[in-house]
Structure 1
Amino acid sequence: MTNLLKVSAIALAATLAACGSETSANGGAATGPVAADTSENWVETVTKTEDGGFRMGNPDAPITIIEYASLTCSHCATFAEESFTPLTENYVSQGTVNFEVRNFVRDPLDLSAALLTRCNGEGPFFQLNERLFANQGAMFETIQGADQAQLQALATPEALQSGRTFVGFAEAAGLIELVGGLGISDQQARQCLADGEAVQELEEMRNAALNDHNITGTPAFIINGQLAAGVSNWAQLDARLQELVE
């Protein structure tokens, strides 16, 4: 957490250079022909996994995708914009793919945004996640116009211990008002932003990505348990999925 707190708001644009990843495996293969299962509305089937991510779709789908994503990564925002409709309509709704998002937090603003997407549990997670990605440009513009000295004061261990850090970053970026239109009250948002256990969960998820999966950039994809080489955007992931479902 100390390293994350060192990132100032004015340096957030520079952190975008850390977006993007190249991985060393091709992603695990599906076994046998993949048959559709439309017995349920899988797009509405969302659960929180033991690893802390949120998974959409048939839990028994033959193809599982895990995306490690950062809400301050421009490539992740592009992937979210391009992928959501075709991924849900062509794969998740057919019961052939389930899709899990795990946060790979990189800076205080990213962590603040992640806390809000996770604030109300499974039901609204994907809607909140998509909304914050769609709002990424405005989020950066707003926070870069904020008082930088105040933001630096928030990025201290003392501010973190008091619970002010992520409330302050969310306020400066206009995120509390944004999620207010999606069913999270001002009071609820502030409680989630000051939730130390939720912060720790996000930090542990980042550490697992680094230590267990050797992930250093976002977006990164694990397909059927293996990191996927050369997959960093929707066109590449879609091509890989078409190979697996055939």
Structure 2
Amino acid sequence: MAAIPAVALLAASGSDEANAQTTAAVNALAASGSVDEAKLMEPGALPDQVIGDANAPVTIVEYASMTCPHCASFHEHTFPALDDKYIKTGKVKFILREFPLDPRAEAGFMLARCSDNKYYPMVDVLFKQQMNWAAVQDARTALLNIAKLAGFTQESFEACLTDQKLLDDVRAVRAKGAELGVTATPTFFINGKKYSGAMSIEQMSAIIDPLL
């Protein structure tokens, strides 16, 4: 899993120091590569879960793992601001794609895909509750308890997690990400340029604003 970019944002005692720190943060946002946007947006094994204006000037594709702490941190601390500032205002189209790092992450994504068009709410709950299922001994029971709150029954839960085609498709989405150069999570492609790590809203704004 990717670490947050090592930018020391210490408390500033004056404006010059604050500006220097801001500059350092922006400098840390250099893209680590790029991909052909047409290839990035090619249909995959599973339909993209798109939120935002289809014609937004900026497209963000995130590859994440449900058991990745940095991914959970991004979705808890940065995504709400990204949603309010850019997605709901029509400036950004956002797509989350599956890049599971282990079987538990695969199970989490499968449940999100089975959640009756509640993909993002289910993802949000699983990230917020990550320590309650991803790091416990009996993850299956923990996931079942969370899934029941989302409307699953024991039967629909079992049916989802034993759906071999869905598992194969989730793995195919990960394989496509690997072909695009994803090696860690979270990895973001912003208008085709690649960035790794759980960025803050300030860091994302530094990338997005010049594209608007």
**148, 155, 158: which is aligned to 1:180?**
148
Partner of 1:50: 43
The question of 1:215 aligning with 2:182 is answered yes
Opposite residue 139 of structure 1, the aligned amino acid is W
Quick one: distance in 1 between partners of 2:34 and 2:171? Answer: 27
- Report the TM-score when normalising by structure 2: 0.76
Quick one: distance in 2 between partners of 1:140 and 1:204? Answer: 22
- Report the TM-score when normalising by structure 1: 0.66
**Corresponding residue pairs, total:** 180
**Corresponding residue SS for 1:86:** helix
The question of 1:71 aligning with 2:66 is answered yes
CA contact (8 A) 1:21 1:220 kept: no
Partner of 1:97: 92
Q: Shift of residue 141 of structure 1?
A: 4.0
Quick one: distance in 1 between partners of 2:160 and 2:32? Answer: 36
The question of 1:170 aligning with 2:140 is answered yes
Quick one: distance in 2 between partners of 1:233 and 1:135? Answer: 20
Q: Shift of residue 227 of structure 1?
A: 1.6
Question: Could you list the runs of 5+ residues in structure 2 that have no partner in the other structure?
Answer: 6-30, 37-41
Q: Percent identity?
A: 27
The question of 1:142 aligning with 2:136 is answered yes
Residue-by-residue CA offset, 1:1-53 (whole Å, 9 max, x unaligned):
xxxxxxxxxxxxxxxxx34488623799xxxxxxxxxxxxxxxxxxxx93233
Q: Shift of residue 233 of structure 1?
A: 1.5
CA contact (8 A) 1:67 1:102 kept: yes
Q: Shift of residue 234 of structure 1?
A: 2.7
The question of 1:24 aligning with 2:32 is answered yes
| Compared CA separation, residues 27 and 234, structure 1 to 2 (3 A) | farther
Partner of 1:160: none
Quick one: distance in 1 between partners of 2:80 and 2:156? Answer: 29
Q: Alignment RMSD, CA only?
A: 2.4
CA contact (8 A) 2:66 2:72 kept: yes
CA contact (8 A) 1:71 1:114 kept: yes
Partner of 2:121: 127
**Corresponding residue SS for 1:142:** coil
**Corresponding residue SS for 2:189:** strand
Residue-by-residue CA offset, 1:129-151 (whole Å, 9 max, x unaligned):
010000111113422xx4xxxxx
The question of 1:203 aligning with 2:193 is answered no
**42, 50, 57: which is aligned to 1:62?**
57
| Compared CA separation, residues 27 and 207, structure 1 to 2 (3 A) | closer
**Corresponding residue SS for 1:214:** coil
| Compared CA separation, residues 72 and 242, structure 1 to 2 (3 A) | same
Quick one: distance in 2 between partners of 1:91 and 1:27? Answer: 23
Question: Could you list the runs of 5+ residues in structure 1 that have no partner in the other structure?
Answer: 1-17, 29-48, 147-168
Residue-by-residue CA offset, 1:155-176 (whole Å, 9 max, x unaligned):
xxxxxxxxxxxxxx533xx101
**Corresponding residue SS for 2:33:** coil
CA contact (8 A) 2:74 2:200 kept: yes
